[in-house]
Amino acid sequence: MKIASWNVNSVGARLPRVLDWFSEARPDVCVLQEIKCVDEKFPAEAFEDLGYDVHVHGQKTYNGVALLSRHPVEDVRRGLPEYEDEHSRYIEALIVPEDAAPLRVGGLYLPNGNPAPGPKYDYKLAWMEALEAHAKRLLATEEAFALGGDYNVIPNESGVYDPSRWLGDALFRIESRQAYRRILNLGLTDALPQLMGEPYYTFWDYQRGAWDKNNGLRIDHWLLSPQAADRLEAGGVDAGVRDPNTGSPEAKPSDHVPVWVEIA
């Protein structure tokens, strides 16, 4: 089962490119971030035509997440459990293939946190603490699960083109990295570095020629429970989707690219 995550930076603005990728990559499950629309405005029919069951936790103009699956879906949860949040940043469901073991998939859009320090950074750290608590609860079920999305955390120096320029940024501050490490230390596997090695990037800013210079960041991740990690077979980053010279000309690409893993 191929599960993917992609911060599309407005599904309405990127729809031709997003559909191109879906048609080519054909993920079994995909979680989207920053859809930037309310539930009713999400272009569900376009994805249903490709064979997907669509579940949305939207928000006008900002944030918003969605989960799309070719397989039957149960127990859909919108919002990070046991955490009050006015923003739409988390969606989760149990994926139940007819011919394979179930897999719980969570899609998340973790707060950016800038400027840091400050209230926005406090919100980021509180959200990470709530995510850690939820991961603990999931681990206690001994259920196979995968948490994917835009974590807005650069885990280490290999995840940024120039670490010295990012030391004070909320994505790379030591508190952010420590919070991410605490989640991993619960017993989760950061899947893509295990498969691809480092460095690799998942985000390139629109400014200052970042794509052409390969000035990227690694901020989109898949974290797997032990039961899911035992079934990990492959994974990758579809970096070419970021190239402004490829894909549907009707829209420029997102600044993020799809990241995916295959679970047996």
Binding residues for Mg(2+): 7, 34, 150, 152, 255-256
Candidate list 109, 121, 180, 201, residue with the active-site label: 109
Which residues does 156 contact at the CB level (< 8 Å), separation at least 6?
177, 198
Q: Which of 223, 215, 254 is nearest to 21 (CA)?
A: 254
DSSP state of 160: B
Query: Which residue positions form the known binding site?
Result: 7, 34, 150, 152, 255-256
Residue 28, token pair as written in the block: 């079994």
The 10 Å Cβ neighbour count of residue 81 is 14
161 in active site: no
230 in active site: no
52 in active site: no
What value does the CA radius of gyration of the chain take, rounded to a whole number of Å?
17
Q: Is 87 helix (H, G, I), strand (E, B) or coil?
A: coil
Alpha carbons within 13 angstroms on the beta-carbon side of residue 80 total 23
Candidate list 28, 53, 150, 220, residue with the active-site label: 150
The enclosing H or E element of 190 equals strand 189-190
| Cα–Cα distance for residue pair 217/240, rounded to 1 Å | 15
Catalytic residues: 109, 150, 256
